[in-house]
Amino acid sequence: MKRMLSGIKPTGRLTLGNYIGAIRNFVNYQNDYEMYIFIANMHAITVPQEKAELKRNTKDLIALYIACGLDPERVTIFLQSDVHEHAELGWIMTCNSYMGELQRMTQYKDKTAKGETGITAGLFTYPSLMAADILLYDADYVPVGVDQKQHVELTRNLAERFNNRYGDTFVVPEPLVEKVGAKVYSLQDPTKKMSKSDANPKGTIDLLDEPSVARKKIMSAVTDSIGIIQYDPENQPGISNLLTILSSLSGESIESIVARYDGKGYGDFKKEVGQCVFDFLTELQNKYKEIISSGLIEKVIKEGDEKARYIARKKVNKVKKKVGLEIF
Ligand code: ATP
Ligand code: MG
């Protein structure tokens, strides 16, 4: 079975975008791949985090992974900072990365271009840590959004560089970009990605939003004055976004939804999307509450950490020998 690895940063409350664009795919892949899913909390601290919030977001992320359908019996779910090998291999990867290639990474490039101050050295070098995250587990595939493809390319370069210099050590991973690039947009500005760090809460649906609040957000989503329900992201980004959401959550094709709404108005359509989101969140949150109060997340992380560490340790030992960091 091929191996797959992915992670999400606990930088905020998970959104419907994170579910539709990432977690839902992980759930689908879990039957066909040996999966490693981690909470990228060391990446989260590349930007300032408030301690209590980081802890809460981390726990919520674990509980939501499970509530969304990741099966801890099949998937190794672990906490990045618990597996010290990430920091160890991360440093070795940093020492094999060139300043030039890190300067070309979008996050750093965008922030410097905007003249942002307070950019940490961690934000500059995190792509090297991300390479370590992937290479530790000999992952064959890394499911990513288009925005993340660049990081997997860097990982491939670093793996090949290391293999050439020290002999075959790492599997060179492939990025796996979703064929149907389900991207969810802000409900208030449907040309902008829905995102955890959006300052306007009306634009995002958090997975832990009160379901009735989420329904209201759908009802007041920005649309257009065309009056026809059709999938046309260019001219009707708002309606198209709602179609993506409804189709992703219900499993009904966009064509079929569009056909059902032939000649009907936005009001009824929004009501259905709102109800669908309401039902989805209600069910998800019931599972989430059960998981949070059951002590399951502690058990899952303890077991996941152990499994991850076993593989990661072997890899780091091998790397240290090759580099000359181990003398006996
Ligand atoms: P931030 O605003 O802090 O960057 P984010 O919501 O973009 O948060 P990430 O942690 O950067 O979340 O990404 C986690 C995963 O969710 C990635 O695989 C990313 O491709 C996916 N993702 C994030 N937002 C969306 C979205 N609006 N639509 C589809 N997929 C998304
Ligand atoms: Mg992001």
Q: Which atom of ligand 1 is nearest to the CA of 6?
A: 18
Residue 195: CB within 6 Å of ligand 1?
yes
| Residue 321 pLDDT greater than 80, yes or no | yes
Average pLDDT over residues 229-242: 97
Q: Supply the mean pLDDT for the chain.
A: 95
pLDDT band for position 181 (cuts 50, 70, 90)? low
Domains in the chain (CATH in brackets) are: 3-177+295-323 (3.40.50.620), 201-289 (1.10.240.10)
Give pLDDT tens digits for 33-67. Answer: 999 999 999 999 999 999 999 999 999 999 999 99
pLDDT category at 197 given cuts 50, 70, 90 is confident
Mean pLDDT in residue range 244-249: 95
Query: Band of the pLDDT at 274, cuts 50, 70, 90?
Result: very high
For the chain, give the secondary structure using H, E and C: CCEEEEEECCCCCCEHHHHHHHHHHHHHHCCCCEEEEEECHHHHCCCCCCHHHHHHHHHHHHHHHHHCCCCCCCCEEEEHHHCCHHHHHHHHHHCCCCHHHHHCCHHHHHHHHCCCCCCCHHHHHHHHHHHHHHHCCCCCEEEECHHHHHHHHHHHHHHHHHHHHHCCCCCCCEEEECCCCCCCECCCCCCCECCCCCCCHHHCCECCCCHHHHHHHHHCCCCCCCCCCCCCCCCCHHHHHHHHHHHHHHCCCHHHHHHHCCCCCHHHHHHHHHHHHHHHHHHHHHHHHHHHHHCHHHHHHHHHHHHHHHHHHHHHHHHHHHHCCCCC
CA 17 to centroid of ligand 1, rounded, Å = 6
The pLDDT tens digits for 134-180 are: 999 999 999 987 778 899 999 999 999 999 999 999 999 999 987 65
Taking CA atoms only, the protein residue closest to ligand 1 atom 14 is 8
Ligand 1 lined by 6 (C-beta under 6 Å): no
- Looking at residue 196, what is its pLDDT? 85
Please state which of the ranges 22-36, 193-207, 221-235 shows the lowest mean pLDDT: 193-207
- ipTM of this predicted structure: 0.97
**Ligand 1 test: best mutation among 29, 194, 195, most atoms within 8 Å of CB?**
195
pTM (2 decimals)? 0.92
Mean pLDDT check: name the lowest of 107-116, 231-240, 299-308. Answer: 107-116
pLDDT attached to residue 180: 56
